[in-house]
Structure 1
Amino acid sequence: MQKKTVYVLMPRNSRAWRGAEALWVTAAGWAGAAEQHYGSSWIGTSDTVAKAEDVLHYPLGSTTVVNTDKKGKYPWLPMVFKTLLKDILLKRSQPKEWAIEKDGPWKDETVKMVWEQHDLFPGPGYKIAKKLKVPFVLYVHGPAVWEASKWGVKRPVWGNWLEKNIEAASLKRADLVACVTEEVRQKLIDMGVQEHKTLVSPMSVDNKLFYPGKDVQHLKKELKIEHKTVIGWTGSFRSFHGLDTVVKAFLKIHKNHPDTVLILVGDGSEKEHIERLVHKMELQHVVLFPGRKPFAEIPDYVACFDIALVSAKTAEGFHYSPIKLREYMAAGKAAIAPLAGDLPLQFTEGEQVLFYEAGNEEHLESRLQLLINDVPFRNALGRNANEFVTSSSTWLHELKKVIAKLEANTL
């Protein structure tokens, strides 16, 4: 009897999405869930085929994150033309035949589903699913043109054409389009995806990687944070995270609680700005920047936290599903998150998380004060968070939702 499997496809090469590692973590999460449910899964990129545990170390190659604030190789070229050039090169980078279409051990297994990460230009998922006569699922963090425009990326004329003729066409042919938030779902419907083919499926967590009680004394000793109250954040340093608000709130916290430290794990275009702000406030001895870490090391850093933060500059246009929040919760950490997007609909204030008004330094400070002063409440919040996530919000739960939706749509 052949083993059952799922193809999880990422429509770029194994070195792509540097600085956006959450996309690779997402692929690994869905592949790991498929392996639990069916017994096997394979992750295909344009240049290779891998297993979930391998993809947790993606992207391959240099760990340097490019500072997108700098002018780049061609400072004289207007940004709109750079964007056009990138789009052309992205399209040309796609091979005629993908690695997973070639012979390999994955060919000896019975494919039950093809899952593909949505991108500006689609991968081979639809073609493969049609050939194998299995369901084709697209997973969408945000339609590419629409999401990039929120970040200020301009695609005059060709952007509308791409959205209508490439993105929308790809989305409409999927058997199911799973997306991270309700705002994204409404955008997909506006683009022509049939409502019954959409499903909100937020970013989730692998609770075999993030769990309470992880022994990290070695790391605490290395960071010199033993016997400290640790406030922590993980992610990519981008302007929309509003980390300046976090640092300003921490300044007031540290004055009242000198045993506190703030750890900001990651890299990105805004890191230098935040480091300068920390030095200006003379906090460099209590704000740590460990730098970008392989995802396999992130659970250890989260285990060092007493209080874990999700930050946002504003609630306006917050269409994201922050993967870090469920990672914190699975690890049993008391988490503070912005009152934004779908988060207030998914979690209960004071039971699983604490919310603060995005960008509001004083409100964030008050939330931190509460968790520092009331340790029993902080511990209870972490326990409740862990119980909630492990019982209803892992990647396996999301996979089962997709399977149930596909079955319901065929009735």
Structure 2
Amino acid sequence: MNESRPFALQVRSSAGLYGADRVVLALNRALDRGGARSRLLSINNYRMHEQVLHDTASTGGQDAVLLPCRGRVDATTIGALAAQVGAARHRDGTPPIVHVHDYKSAFYAWLATRRDPHAATPAPLVATLHGWVESSGALRLYTRLELALLRRFDALVVVAAEQIDRLARAGVPRARIRHIDNGIPCPVRDDAGAAELRAQLGIAPDAQVFSAVARLSSEKNLAMLLRAFAPVAARHPHAVLLLVGDGPERESLEALAHDLALDDRVRFLGMRHDTPAIYTLSDRIVLPSLTEGMPLVVLEAMACEVPVIASAVGDIPRLLEHSTHGRTVPPGDAAALEAALEHALHAPRARDVAGRDYVRERHSAQAMAAAYVALYRDLLEKRHARRAS
């Protein structure tokens, strides 16, 4: 088998720059430093004027290509992806790894690799399951269709252990399932930036700051956070809540904050690029999600030594086992979340050094990339052995 570095094509259809997108960016960058070549293929989102994932990768000097796409199903996209697969094939016939990160990318990758004229050694297909959002009938249908398609893939990577049983129930052989933890370019505290941000927002030095850094969408359950925070704010005039991010629920959340008389206690900051300053400013990061895999916001908060209050979903409980001050609450339990916020206001301010050390050791982008390189090499070795036999 060719001993050169594996070539991985990361394929993603993106609607912004959220957790999964940032994992893909971190992986694409770290692979090039960790034993494999990697190229990010972003599928054009025809509903959006800007292609943030592709633009961010390109601006950062990453190997990135924007694939054309003009509708829900576009034969041009299939052809462009097939051409990328062909161009990445090594001259000795070793195929690239095609690594997808969402259901639309899985659909196009499957069709594109069926076009490959090198049928004897087709490109191995890998999918990372970043988590399922099933807040509507259409999304539940997409998940069922995705699971049916993924049974045909060579390897499926989960980022949370609870995903394994669901894949097995869907008919995926357990031997094809790998558990690889998300990794991040570990941020560090930004005390100067936090002081400047506190002054810009007019937050008093003695204010206790809770922050939710998330997409403003239903699965993040931020409406419950506002309802849990309202009685806490009434009892504690110096408590402040920052909502950092954007999404389809922003207007409804702003209206709810107004109805709860929280206009001067809740700040909607929109999308931000100074998250280390936001983490450093925060006394607690709060994530009341109904569903998660391994959320980057928890890893980033722990890396910045900030205690986390989060729903006990996905791999959050496993992460917070390594935190001195983190706390989980049952998903959807507003009373438990209110009690956790109240408890935080009475607890001494603390920095989560244990959480920081754990994330730096186990969840760096380099550690994630090393695990994927091992998977890629294993798949190519198996493909080579089948071809030789």
State the TM-score bracket (shorter-chain normalisation): 0.7 to 0.9
Aligned partner (choices 130, 135, 139) of residue 128 of structure 2: 139
Give the letter aligned to residue 202 of structure 2. K
Cα deviation for residue 289 of structure 1 reads 0.5
Q: Is residue 35–residue 41 contact of structure 1 (8 Å, CA) maintained in 2?
A: yes
Give the letter aligned to residue 31 of structure 2. A
* Aligned mates of 2:37, 2:102 — CA distance in 1: 22
Q: Is residue 28–residue 53 contact of structure 1 (8 Å, CA) maintained in 2?
A: no
Aligned partner (choices 201, 205, 209) of residue 223 of structure 1: 201
Cα deviation for residue 392 of structure 1 reads 0.8
Cα deviation for residue 307 of structure 1 reads 0.8
Cα deviation for residue 5 of structure 1 reads 6.7
Cα deviation for residue 250 of structure 1 reads 1.8
* Aligned mates of 1:361, 1:161 — CA distance in 2: 33
* Aligned mates of 1:10, 1:303 — CA distance in 2: 33
| Cα distance change of structure 1 residues 159 and 255 upon mapping to structure 2, 3 Å threshold | closer
- The answer for the alignment partner of 1:261 in structure 2 is 240
Aligned partner (choices 15, 19, 36) of residue 17 of structure 1: 15
| Cα distance change of structure 1 residues 327 and 391 upon mapping to structure 2, 3 Å threshold | same
2:332 corresponds to 1:347 = no
Matches within 5 A, 1:146-157: 147=132, 149=134, 151-153=136-138
Structure 1 unaligned regions, length at least 5: 58-85
Q: Is residue 98–residue 109 contact of structure 2 (8 Å, CA) maintained in 1?
A: no
Cα deviation for residue 187 of structure 1 reads 2.7
Q: Is residue 126–residue 153 contact of structure 2 (8 Å, CA) maintained in 1?
A: no
Describe the SS at the equivalent of 2:175: helix
Aligned partner (choices 291, 297, 321) of residue 270 of structure 2: 291
Cα deviation for residue 355 of structure 1 reads 0.8
User: What TM-score comes out, normalization by structure 1 length?
Assistant: 0.72
- The answer for the alignment partner of 2:331 in structure 1 is 358
Aligned partner (choices 249, 256, 264) of residue 270 of structure 1: 249
Matched length: 356
Aligned partner (choices 23, 28, 31) of residue 25 of structure 2: 28
2:40 corresponds to 1:43 = yes
Q: Is residue 208–residue 238 contact of structure 2 (8 Å, CA) maintained in 1?
A: yes
* Aligned mates of 1:408, 1:102 — CA distance in 2: 21
2:112 corresponds to 1:123 = no
Describe the SS at the equivalent of 2:165: helix
2:158 corresponds to 1:179 = yes
- The answer for the alignment partner of 2:79 in structure 1 is 96
Give the letter aligned to residue 15 of structure 2. W
* Aligned mates of 1:199, 1:39 — CA distance in 2: 19
Q: Is residue 307–residue 336 contact of structure 1 (8 Å, CA) maintained in 2?
A: yes
Cα deviation for residue 198 of structure 1 reads 0.8
Give the letter aligned to residue 290 of structure 1. L
Cα deviation for residue 309 of structure 1 reads 0.8
| Cα distance change of structure 1 residues 113 and 45 upon mapping to structure 2, 3 Å threshold | same
2:364 corresponds to 1:394 = yes
Aligned partner (choices 281, 286, 298) of residue 309 of structure 1: 286
Aligned partner (choices 211, 216, 231) of residue 188 of structure 2: 211
Cα deviation for residue 91 of structure 1 reads 4.6
Describe the SS at the equivalent of 2:80: coil
* Aligned mates of 1:225, 1:148 — CA distance in 2: 35
Give the letter aligned to residue 90 of structure 1. V
* Aligned mates of 1:9, 1:192 — CA distance in 2: 25
Aligned partner (choices 300, 320, 323) of residue 293 of structure 2: 320
Q: Percent identity?
A: 17
* Aligned mates of 1:397, 1:130 — CA distance in 2: 33
- The answer for the alignment partner of 1:60 in structure 2 is none
Give the letter aligned to residue 224 of structure 2. T
- The answer for the alignment partner of 1:70 in structure 2 is none
* Aligned mates of 1:394, 1:329 — CA distance in 2: 12
Q: Is residue 262–residue 288 contact of structure 1 (8 Å, CA) maintained in 2?
A: yes
**Per-residue CA distance 1:111-141 (angstroms, 9 max, x = gap):** 9855332423132785789899876532122
- The answer for the alignment partner of 1:337 in structure 2 is 310
Give the letter aligned to residue 367 of structure 1. A
Q: Is residue 332–residue 385 contact of structure 1 (8 Å, CA) maintained in 2?
A: yes
* Aligned mates of 2:198, 2:134 — CA distance in 1: 41
Describe the SS at the equivalent of 2:212: strand
Q: CA RMSD in A?
A: 4.0
User: What TM-score comes out, normalization by structure 2 length?
Assistant: 0.76
Q: Is residue 95–residue 122 contact of structure 2 (8 Å, CA) maintained in 1?
A: no
Q: Is residue 211–residue 330 contact of structure 1 (8 Å, CA) maintained in 2?
A: yes
Give the letter aligned to residue 347 of structure 1. L
Describe the SS at the equivalent of 2:200: helix
